[in-house]
Structure 1
Amino acid sequence: MKKFATVDPEHFLWQTNLGIRSEVKDKEDLESLQKRFNHTEGLHIYQRMKGCEWNDETDEIKSWRQSSYDGEDFLALDTKTWTWTAAKPQAFPMKHTLDHDQAFMTYLKFYHTEICVQNLKKYVNFGRDVLMRTDLPKVFLLQKTPSSPVSCFATGFYPSSATLFWRKDGKDLHENVVHGEVLPNPDGTFQMTVDLNVEVTAEVEGKYECVFQLSGVKEDLVTKLERRSILSNASDEDNVKVIVGTTLAVAAVILAIIVIVVVAIRHKNKEANYDPAADEDGT
């Protein structure tokens, strides 16, 4: 954006002036809405949102413009019919006025079909290095216990527009599958999980696979379900049991050797102190 500001400073000046004018208009609208809702005191919020979406492959354009009062829908523009929709009774007077304001409607059509899209293309072009960045994740198979669902965990991917799902014999699975939400990581990347409720046996190994797909990347990231690939608390516990059992066995062998050595030493000492005459006279 710093580079953009240097190349096209007039654009940022225009946006700044637009924001100043919008602030004045929003205050006027908020005061008007407070009267219509009969709100004489307290904190109230008026919000307006406008935007557009451009598909660079099909050149299809979608746009929207809507407003809300105290967090609830108030008024929206249908950009297909170019008419206003009132979500509250208090919005009908404003809808009636806007529907008959042909000059303003002409400006809205020009803005949503031309200006908004031109700005969007500018932003994409100048921010391409950041906006078009793609980072593939690290994928892990996790399982708490042998009877727990197998969780496919993908972390470190960017952008957030990704899908993660289980597949069996090449077909997407929808049953016994639970999808988690896309969550942010502290470093700005994202993570997500998808759980599969299945008993991991030798018969099912290799038949199931976790598939990760990232927007902008053609190839899928596939992780096959194999017992040796699963990270599990139960596996750690089993390893601890094996280590403890081995340690105890070694300790028992060492103890037995020590006992044998002690007995041998005592027996040797006893032979060294043996007096044949004492045995002969019966003492």
Structure 2
Amino acid sequence: MKALIGLLLLVFFDHGVSSVLHSLQYFYTASSGLTTFPEFVAVGMVDGVQMVHYDGNIRRTVLKQDWMEQLTRDYPDYLERSNGLSRGSQQAFKADIGIVKQRFNQTGDTPHCSVHTLTWVAPVRQAFPTKQRWDGNRVYNEQQKNYYTKECVNWLKKYLFYGKSTLQRTEHPRVSLLQRSPSSPVVCHATGFYPDRVVVFWMRDGQELHEQVDPGEVLPNHDGTFQVSVDLNLKAVPQEDWGRYECVVQLKGIKDISTPLDPALIRTNWEGQSGLTIPIIIGLLVLLLAAAAAVVGVLLYKKRNASDKRHKPLGSDTSSENTEGQNPAPEAQPLTTG
């Protein structure tokens, strides 16, 4: 039997007058019967960046960012406290696995808390007994409210302070227009930006388009930056009207990036292939010339060999195949009479 349950703790914080929304997230995951996965894992993230990780197999917290080293030097009990909380959660979740198996036939959801009313919400009927039990524990709920509304917010501010060079940096996006084929949508692709709160949209005649567009989700890059694409369908739009369109990328702290829908700016697969045409043609010409030279060489060799046979002295051996081409005879001298 296998079971997997998880708990997400999420706190948002509006960072003063900058109106930038920051988040602190904790993911707790417990499992049973999975040989390749720890029975308990806890992950802490600030603005989507992982800063701590607890592995139930080694039973300790691992720092995932360099700036967390400085935080733990200023707060020496941080790791000990984090380890203690995670180990306690590991034991609690291990017990919860059995309850989950019974109520959800090995899988399901757990209640989540509404801190404003100090009550718990049961997303499915199997979680209702837990909701009732937790609702009756007023002291525990007050502690949870204080944790979510005060302690988590305070720690989020600390994380933002220590990780400001990483978490509060701004990296400008690189914007490209892409198209796979003449009939494909034109893609406005922005990549390499940070943070991930970017807005990318298409405009026509200065007005944002809500039709003809297919926005994609923001995805992470391997270097910690992000990328996103927004498709524009132009099947019903004649190319002479393309000048009415533009892609706009907005990221807080930088000037809007506007890219007009200009065919000269679009990177396409077929252009990439035609761009390789000249080198390919040159390569083919070189090969053809080499082949032609080889053919000419063979013909000249055969012609010369035939001439040699016609002028070869009487009695010479002309039938040996084993020596042909291996020990070429010196150039034949004209026959003389004496």
User: Contact conserved, 2:109 with 2:127, CA < 8 A, in 1?
Assistant: no
Which one of 197, 200, 204 corresponds to residue 168 of structure 1?
A: 204
Q: For residues 104 and 13 of structure 1, what CA distance do their matches in structure 2 show?
A: 23
Q: Which residue of the partner structure matches residue 8 of structure 1? A: 75
The 3-state SS of whatever aligns with 2:83 is: helix
> What are the superposed Cα offsets for residues 243-265 of structure 1, whole Å, 9 maximum, x if unpaired?
97xxx9xxxxxxxxxxxxxxxxx
Q: CA deviation at 1:178?
A: 1.5
**Deviation (angstroms), 1:241:** 7.3
1:181 aligns with 2:217: yes
Shift of 1:233: 3.1
Shift of 1:129: 0.9
Aligned equivalents of 1:218, 1:240: Cα separation in 2: 37
**What does residue 27 of structure 1 align with?**
94
Secondary structure of 2:165 counterpart: helix
Aligned residues: 213
Match for residue 268 of structure 1? none
C-alpha change, 1:79 and 1:169, in structure 2 (3 Å) is same
Which residue among 182, 186, 210 is the counterpart of 1:150?
186
Which one of 119, 131, 143 corresponds to residue 155 of structure 2? Answer: 119
2:250 corresponds in structure 1 to 213
Q: Aligned equivalents of 1:180 and 1:144: distance in 2?
A: 17
Q: Normalized per residue, which structure has more helix? A: 1
Deviation (angstroms), 1:202: 3.7
Partner of 2:115: 79
TM-score, scaled relative to structure 2: 0.56
Q: What is the root-mean-square deviation in Å for CA atoms of aligned residues?
A: 2.7
Q: Cα 1:129–1:237, aligned 2, differ >3 Å: closer, same or farther?
A: closer
State the alpha-carbon separation in 1 of the partners of residues 269 and 131 from structure 2.
60
Matches within 5 A, 1:187-202: 187-198=223-234, 199=237, 201-202=239-240
CA distance in 1 between counterparts of 2:102 and 2:276 reads 71
Alignment partner of 1:147: what SS?
A: coil
> Is the 1:200–1:227 Cα contact (8 Å) retained in structure 2?
no
Please give the alpha-carbon distance, in whole angstroms, between the structure 2 residues aligned to 1:113 and 1:203: 53
> Equivalent of 1:91, from 90, 114, 127?
127
Instruction: Give the secondary-structure state (helix, strand or coil) at the position aligned to 1:9.
Output: coil
> Could you say if the C-alpha distance between residues 185 and 35 of structure 1 is closer, same or farther in structure 2, counting changes exceeding 3 Å?
closer
Does the 8 A contact of 1:213 with 1:221 survive in 2? Answer: yes
5+ long unaligned stretches in structure 2: 1-67, 286-338
Cα offset, 1:88, TM superposition: 3.4
How far 1:190 moved relative to its partner? 2.1
Aligned: 1:17 with 2:53: no
**Deviation per CA, 1:74-123, whole angstroms, max 9, x where unpaired?**
21111221111223333232222211112112211211111111111111
- State the TM-score, normalized to the length of structure 1: 0.66
**Pair 25,200 (structure 1): closer, same or farther in 2 beyond 3 Å:** same
- Kindly state the Cα deviation for residue 160 of structure 1 after the two structures are TM-superposed: 2.4
Q: Distance in 1 between matches of 2:128 and 2:277?
A: 73
1:14-60 deviations in whole A, cap 9, x for unaligned? 222111222222222323443445x6xxxx5xxxxxxxxxxxxxxxx
User: Do residues 204 (structure 1) and 242 (structure 2) align?
Assistant: yes
Does the residue aligned with 1:204 lie in a helix, a strand or coil? helix
Instruction: Tell me, in whole angstroms, the C-alpha distance in 2 between the residues paired with 1:92 and 1:144.
Output: 52
> How far is the alpha carbon of 1:197 from its aligned partner?
1.8
Q: How far does residue 5 in structure 1 lie from its aligned partner after superposition?
A: 0.4
User: Counterpart of 2:83 in structure 1: which amino acid?
Assistant: T
